[in-house]
Amino acid sequence: MNVREAIEKRRTIRKFTQRKIDKAELHELIDCARLAAYGANLQPLKFRTITDENEVEKVFPHTKWAGYLKDGTPKVGERPTAYIAILGDSTIKKNEDFGVDAGAAITNMMLRATELNLATCWFGSIDRKELCKILDISENLRLIYILAVGEAAQESTICDMTDGDVKYFMDENGVLNVPKRSLEEIIIED
C-alpha cells in the first residue's frame, strides 16, 4: 500500500471486532507519531496506551460517538479494545498550544494503522477531566485527544458531497458514507 492508497483507505471506524490489540501494535503507531512534524521540533507530546480490559471499559463512557448518526455509538461487542491518549507536556511547550502537533502525530498513526489493517477513530469530544482521573495523568500533562484503535467491523467509504451537506450517513447496505468536498471547490486560483 502506498501513501496515497492509505490516505484514501483510511476512514473513521466506529464498530470494532473484539480482537485484543496488544501494546506492541500501539507502540508501532506511536513510533510513527514520534517521527511526525512538530513546531520548532519541540516534540511536546506523550502517549499513554490503554489496553487493560478494565481501563478500556472505563474510558468508553467518556467518549462521544458520531454526532451525525442516530445510532452511531457502538454497542457492547462493537466497542474498541484499545485506545491511545495523546498528551501535551506543559514542561516542554509552555504556551500549551498542542492541537496542531497532536494532529500531525495522529495523522501519522492513523495512516500506519491503515497500512497494518487496523482501524481508528479520533476523539475530540471527550470528558478530559474524568479521563485524566481514570488514567491517572500527571499534572504537567494535558489530555488533547484520544485515538481508538482496533480491527474494523464496519465499512466506510468516501462519497461526493451534495449541496454542501457535510453529514456522514449510513447507506442501505450499512456502509458509512463520508461526503468530501470536490477538488474544484477547495482550490482557489485566479
Ligand X SMILES: Cc1cc2nc3c(=O)[nH]c(=O)nc-3n(C[C@H](O)[C@H](O)[C@H](O)COP(=O)(O)O)c2cc1C
| Residues at the interface with ligand X (CB under 6 A) | 11-12, 14, 64-66, 121-125, 156, 168, 178
CB of 123 to ligand X, least distance (A): 4
Q: Do residues 161 and 180 lie in contact, with contact meaning Cβ atoms separated by under 8 Å?
A: yes
Going by their DSSP bridges, the two strands 169-170 and 45-50 should be labelled as unpaired
Q: Which residue's CB is nearer to ligand X, number 39 or number 124?
A: 124
Beta carbon of residue 163, minimum distance to ligand X (angstroms, whole number) = 17
Closer residue to ligand X in complex, CB, 9/34: 9
Task: Give the nearer residue to ligand X in terms of CB position, either 27 or 68.
Answer: 68
Residue with cell 482557489: 188
Residue closer to ligand X (CB basis): 152 or 178? 178
Joined grid coordinates for residue 173 = 447496505
SS3 48: strand
Residue 147 CB, nearest approach to ligand X (Å): 10
